[in-house]
Amino acid sequence: MDSVSGGGVLDSIRWQQETTKVASEDDGMLTQEDFFALMTQELAHQDPTKPVENNEMISQMTAFSTTDGVAQLNDQFTQFANSMSSSQALQASSLVGRSVLVEDNVFALNEGEEVKGKIVTDLPASSVNIYVENTAGEIIQTVPVGNFAAGEHAFTWDGMTSSGESAPAGAYRFRVAGLVDGQASELQAMTYRKVDSVTLAGAGGNILLNLNGGSSMALADVVEVSEG
């Protein structure tokens, strides 16, 4: 009886040493092989008079299945995320040299070029004017555009001042005003901006579009893409 007891103690000590070695080699993380080894040792050293009940065995197998499933799901998610990042990077790089519509009325102008934008109104508007202002807030051109139904309406400024000269290069903004339900109101103006370059790993890991005029925006914030 003593020899049997002594063998059990030695086996227990040996198993503890082997388990410690496996844990240290894997930085404390158990693999599938470790899990199977634990189950095998548990079955080998269990009390013959108290075998593992079916529900306990099922619970152990379920735990193993869940652990394996989570590991596979993590791997698949990582592959999916990498694929999405590559797809977005390719999409963003194709926008260089093209124009994107942004929810901003400020834009950069190169002398002699046209600027496109959109007016957005939730209600019909009348007597609508587009005012082009420089950085000092001075109105350099007024463009009457008449009446609008609710929705989005495209417009183009030819880059000319009210005196008939080309506006110098620089920063400008559109201010749109009209009558909505008989009340003077300002309407939302969006502008098309050209994409100069792309930053693939911007703030927060986002893909950033670097626009003409020095500003940047996230790829996800693009409202519309134009050919020119």
Indicate the domain borders of the chain.
2-93, 101-192
Single out the residue of 8, 13, 66, 9 nearest to residue 35, CA to CA: 66
pTM over 0.85: no
Q: What pLDDT is attached to residue 202? A: 53
- Rounded Cα–Cα distance for residues 121 and 186 (Å): 9
- Rounded Cα–Cα distance for residues 108 and 228 (Å): 15
Q: What pLDDT is attached to residue 2? A: 47
Q: What pLDDT is attached to residue 24? A: 45
Instruction: Record the tokens describing residue 107, joined without a space.
Output: 């834009």
Q: What pLDDT is attached to residue 104? A: 86
Instruction: Record the tokens describing residue 160, joined without a space.
Output: 């000319």
Q: What pLDDT is attached to residue 187? A: 94
Contacts of 33 (CB under 8 A, 6+ apart): none
Backbone angles phi, psi at 161, to 5 degrees: -85, 175
Give the H or E element holding residue 157: strand 151-157
- Rounded Cα–Cα distance for residues 196 and 82 (Å): 25
* Amino acid making up residue 146: G
CATH hierarchy code of domain 101-192: 2.60.40.4070
Q: What pLDDT is attached to residue 52? A: 54
Residues of the chain with pLDDT under 70: 1-32, 35-36, 38-39, 41-91, 201-205, 227-228
* Amino acid making up residue 86: S
- Rounded Cα–Cα distance for residues 221 and 100 (Å): 10
Q: What pLDDT is attached to residue 155? A: 92
Contacts of 58 (CB under 8 A, 6+ apart): none
